[in-house]
Amino acid sequence: MAVTIGMIVASWICIMLYTMLYGDNFVSRTAEHIFMGVIAAYELVINLEFFYNKGVARAFSPGGAIYIIPVILGIMIYARLNAKTRWLYRYPMAVIVGAVFGVTIRTTVFSQILDQIKGNLPPIAPLVGVPAGQLINNLIIIFGSLAAVVFFIFSQEFKGPERYVHRFGRLVLLCGFGATYGNTLSYRYELMAGTFISNLFQPPEILPYTFGFAIAIAIILVIGFKTGLAHWE
Amino acid sequence: MTIPLFIVSVLTVWMTVEYFFPFLAPLEPASHTVQTFATILASAAWGLGTAVLCIAHVRRIYTQSKDPFWGYSVFFLATFFIMFLSGLIQGTQGSIFLWLYNYIQAPGDQALYSTTAFYVTTAGYRVFRFRNLDATVLLISGMFVMWSVLPLFTGPFPVLVTIAKWINNVPSVAAYRGFVMGVALGIIGLALRVILHKHREVLA
Amino acid sequence: MTERSEKSFAEKALDLDHRILASIVFIILSIMVLVPISIPFPVSSYGQQYYDFVDSIPPGETVGFMIGDSPATRPQLEPSSVLTLKMLWDKDCKVVIWSDWAVAIPIVDDYIALAEKKLGRTMEYGVDYVNLGYVAGEETGQAAFLKNIREVVAGVDKYGKNLDDLPIMQGVNSGSDFKYGFFNVACECTEPMYVRQWQMPYGTKLGSINCAMDLPSITLYLATGQLAGTANGLLGSAEMEYLTGQLGLAFGQTMAVSFGGLYFTILVVLGNIFFFMTRGKGRRD
């Protein structure tokens, strides 16, 4: 596969950003600022396009007059940039916050409370007519989840026998967070392997550019630090 | 602040109640329209953050004597305006716009995100200890689950998959069930505080 | 208390510069990527469950597919997403695609092209699939979108075509019109959002394509039946490649990741050994 200028630039950007692992330096800062400029503009363009197509254009199309309301509210958001007009910003934010809370809590009750309680009851977690292994598992899930909820009661100090419930909840939560950490570890290495494959080492024809640039950057950084032109931060 | 908080309370209560009570069904189209408005407003809000960022960098260049790193802001603003103008002029399917996305944004995103792998490695060496029962439980469950998704371990030792499956399906489910229920109750509590105007910080 | 001028070997080892540790990770993964090897591994129950779920979707069904992938997670999740699309199109399923994240827009186009390449034929836009583009607003946007698609996207697709003119969108205007759905949420941890706003109100059977980091919260919804399957990160992609017989990049990446995990295991063991050595000699608390 032929190597394009874009592939070379992608490889070099990655190398420049990886130099931050050895200490903040002018190479990584430059790459970070270039990256930030591109991503900020990208998100802005995509969202402004959405705002225009679904708001502005619709407001001036037949039957869409009501959509002038979010257009005006959307412009009011920018009032926050000036101290004197900052109060106008609260109105569009109120609509956003109200809508977010409304759609979230009405379904949270079902999916995150009631359905989870159902998960502790038959037929999902039966205690009768199941093999011994499944019975033990179901008991651990039931008591473990209750103990985990008890752990989050911070307004009361647990003394006496109930402190064992608190302790058991803590151990169950730690086990769950350990599982999360184990998955997160493999996820982080997957990110790195993916970056290497996508940008640094594939196609094989890009290897001379990758290693050549890495050596050049290393030399520049060493010379920079030895001569005092650059500093470890 | 009173009227915006009142708007928050009315919208939250309205959208919650109309979901549970069928007699409020005639109000549903209006509720959906408000949600659509919120969708459009969310896209407009992105511009605010970007504007603040650009203003900060312009200010850094303008007051360059106070900040030794003002030169980096030049890079930021240059690439920002090239990307922004190419998106405006050529559109989001334009060649320059997509080139910058594919060869600067995408690899930059991958590289920056993947640096966390180095930090978790160092953290594992310096922090993960069998100090007490709690740390041991955390460490052992983490290691078994990590091994179960790596073929180097599961190939020779398939039992790791069984052990990790038990950890994921029993204690982890118990933990997250309690955690999720606690978080859900917290969200509802926060929403109630916002509705009752006890938590004004949501509107800054 | 006696002054000690020299650190013990264990103390020096524990104080090892993080840059050396980072460099070793870099070298190990580079070698494994440059010289990939494959070791057969058992398919996990999650991978089999997800594959069976996709396989169980009846031919000709109209399926919703939210692709919110990111460039960072693309190498891990691309095989799962592309192979899911391929399996659906193999059965002449119709796929309605949209995104909840702006960075996913070019990725969606690439996934469609890659799936067509694997199929060996081009799918007809508006008949076999439609791309509704980016829907802003996170949870509120998705809730509004799944309630009334045409109102949120102004009745047009990503390219400005009227949805009523597209055969695939006949009779499709809400989440209840999808009996089956998929979402690729990259690393956003927004799976609960789709359970709340898609599965729960409309009863759609959902499959999740997500990063490995999200598995513990996913197993919660798998246990209650709120999710039908998960393609979990790179392993899920490798399993999909194996089960569909389309071995590719994910399969090769898993070994590189495995050696990273081996290195981490060695570091944890050594770190604990050195820690207890220093503790045993009473040099540290």
Same domain, C241 and C257: no
Residue C202 structural domain? 45-247
Query: Angle A199-A200-A201 (CA atoms, 0-180°, nearest 5)?
Result: 110
Q: What is the pLDDT of residue B197?
A: 86
Q: What is the pLDDT of residue A176?
A: 92
pLDDT per position as a tens digit, B47-88: 999 999 999 999 999 887 677 788 899 999 999 999 999 999
Q: What is the pLDDT of residue C33?
A: 86
Task: Assess B123–A contact: CB distance below 8 Å, yes or no.
Answer: no
Q: What is the pLDDT of residue C175?
A: 94
Q: What is the pLDDT of residue A229?
A: 72
pLDDT per position as a tens digit, C65-93: 999 999 999 999 999 999 999 999 999 99
**Taking a C-beta distance cutoff of 8 angstroms, is the pair B29, B36 a contact?**
no
Please check the confidence at residue B22 and state whether its pLDDT lies above 70: yes
Please check the confidence at residue A233 and state whether its pLDDT lies above 60: no
CATH number of the CATH domain containing C239: 3.40.50
Q: Is residue A24 part of a domain?
A: yes
Same domain, A80 and A95: yes
Q: What average pLDDT does the structure give for chain C? A: 90
Please check the confidence at residue A1 and state whether its pLDDT lies above 80: no
Confidence grade of residue C210 (pLDDT, cut at 50, 70, 90): very high
Same domain, C169 and C96: yes
Nearest by Cα to B167 from B183, B187, B188, B146: B146
Please check the confidence at residue C13 and state whether its pLDDT lies above 90: no
Q: Is residue C94 part of a domain?
A: yes
A52 token code pair? 């225009």
Q: Is residue C2 part of a domain?
A: no
Q: What is the pLDDT of residue A123?
A: 83
Same domain, A138 and A177: yes
Please check the confidence at residue A98 and state whether its pLDDT lies above 50: yes
pTM, full prediction: 0.90
Q: What is the pLDDT of residue A151?
A: 87
- Give the residue carrying structure tokens 């184990």: A182
Q: Do A70 and B41 touch (CB under 8 A)?
A: yes
Total count of residues recorded for chain A: 233
| Dihedral, C201, C204, C208, C214 alpha carbons, nearest 10 | 30
Q: What is the pLDDT of residue C157?
A: 93
Same domain, C225 and C262: no
Same domain, C260 and C241: no
Q: Is residue A40 part of a domain?
A: yes
Same domain, A210 and A155: no
Please report, in angstroms and rounded to a whole number, the separation of the first and last CA atoms in chain A.
40
**Taking a C-beta distance cutoff of 8 angstroms, is the pair A40, A49 a contact?**
no
**Taking a C-beta distance cutoff of 8 angstroms, is the pair B199, B193 a contact?**
yes
Mean pLDDT, rounded, for A157-181: 87
Mean pLDDT, rounded, for A33-56: 95
Q: How far apart are the C-alpha atoms of A70 and A72, rounded to whole Å?
A: 5
Phi and psi at C134, nearest 5°, equal -90, 135
Phi and psi at C32, nearest 5°, equal -70, -30
Same domain, C262 and C169: no
Q: Is residue C285 part of a domain?
A: no
Q: Which chains form contacts with chain A, at 3 or more CB pairs under 8 Å? A: B, C
Q: Do B107 and A198 touch (CB under 8 A)?
A: yes
Mean pLDDT, rounded, for A58-75: 92
Same domain, C24 and C132: no
Q: Is residue C156 part of a domain?
A: yes
Confidence grade of residue C5 (pLDDT, cut at 50, 70, 90): low
Considering only the beta carbons, identify the residue of B36, B110, B165 that sits closest to C152.
Answer: B36
Please check the confidence at residue C282 and state whether its pLDDT lies above 80: no
Q: How far apart are the C-alpha atoms of C120 and C123, rounded to whole Å?
A: 10
Q: How far apart are the C-alpha atoms of A85 and A94, rounded to whole Å?
A: 16
pLDDT per position as a tens digit, C153-191: 999 999 999 999 999 999 999 999 999 999 999 877 888
Q: Which of residues 206-245 of C touch A (CB under 8 A)?
A: 211-216, 220, 223-226, 233-235
Dihedral sign for Cα atoms in the order A149, A154, A155, A160: positive
Q: What is the pLDDT of residue C1?
A: 46
Q: Where are the alpha helices (DSSP H) in chain B?
A: 2-20, 28-62, 70-90, 95-100, 106-126, 133-148, 151-154, 159-169, 171-195
Q: Do A94 and B11 touch (CB under 8 A)?
A: yes
Cis amide prior to A123 (ω within 30 degrees): yes
Mutation target vs C (from A35, A140, A187; most C CBs, 10 A cutoff): A187
Confidence grade of residue C285 (pLDDT, cut at 50, 70, 90): very low
Same domain, C188 and C212: yes
Q: Is residue C19 part of a domain?
A: yes
Same domain, C16 and C99: no
Q: What is the pLDDT of residue C2?
A: 47
Q: Is residue C103 part of a domain?
A: yes
Which residues of chain B have a CB within 8 Å of the CB of A112? 180-181, 183-184
Spatial strand order in the sheet of C180-186 = C129-134, C94-99, C62-67, C180-186, C205-210, C229-232
Q: Is residue C213 part of a domain?
A: yes
Q: What average pLDDT does the structure give for chain B? A: 90
Mean pLDDT, rounded, for B169-175: 92
Please check the confidence at residue B110 and state whether its pLDDT lies above 90: yes
Mean pLDDT, rounded, for B87-110: 94
Q: Do A149 and B178 touch (CB under 8 A)?
A: yes
Q: What is the pLDDT of residue C265?
A: 94
Residue A80 structural domain? 62-119
Please check the confidence at residue C283 and state whether its pLDDT lies above 60: no
Could you give the number of structural domains in chain C?
2
Which residues of chain B have a CB within 8 Å of the CB of C138? 42
CA distance A177 to chain B (A): 7
Q: How far apart are the C-alpha atoms of A211 and A224, rounded to whole Å?
A: 20
Please check the confidence at residue C224 and state whether its pLDDT lies above 80: yes
Q: Which residues contact A76 (CB under 8 A, 6 or more apart)?
A: A88, A89, A91, A92
Which residues of chain A have a CB within 8 Å of the CB of C76? 187, 190-191, 194
Which long-range contacts does B198-203 make (Cβ < 8 Å, 24+ apart)? B200/B1, B200/B5, B202/A93, B202/A97, B202/B8, B203/A90, B203/A93, B203/A94, B203/A97, B203/B1, B203/B4, B203/B5, B203/B8
Could you give the number of structural domains in chain A?
3
Same domain, A45 and A67: no
CA distance A133 to chain B (A): 11
Confidence grade of residue C94 (pLDDT, cut at 50, 70, 90): very high
ipTM attached to this prediction: 0.88
Same domain, C210 and C144: yes
Strands (E), chain C: 62-67, 94-99, 129-134, 180-186, 205-210, 229-232
pLDDT per position as a tens digit, B119-167: 889 888 888 888 889 999 999 999 999 999 888 898 889 899 899 999 9
* Identity of the residue numbered C57: I
Burial of C6 (0-12, 13-18, 19+ CB in 10 A): exposed
Q: How far apart are the C-alpha atoms of C114 and C108, rounded to whole Å?
A: 10
Mean pLDDT, rounded, for B21-43: 89
Q: Do B180 and C217 touch (CB under 8 A)?
A: yes
Q: What average pLDDT does the structure give for chain A? A: 89
Please check the confidence at residue B171 and state whether its pLDDT lies above 70: yes
Q: Is residue A218 part of a domain?
A: yes
User: How many beta-carbon pairs below 8 A join chains B and C?
Assistant: 157
Q: How far apart are the C-alpha atoms of C80 and C238, rounded to whole Å?
A: 8
Mutation target vs C (from B152, B166, B176; most C CBs, 10 A cutoff): B152
Same domain, C111 and C29: no
Same domain, C243 and C258: no
Which residues of chain B have a CB within 8 Å of the CB of C235? 149
Which residues of chain C have a CB within 8 Å of the CB of B154? 41-42
Q: Is residue C40 part of a domain?
A: no
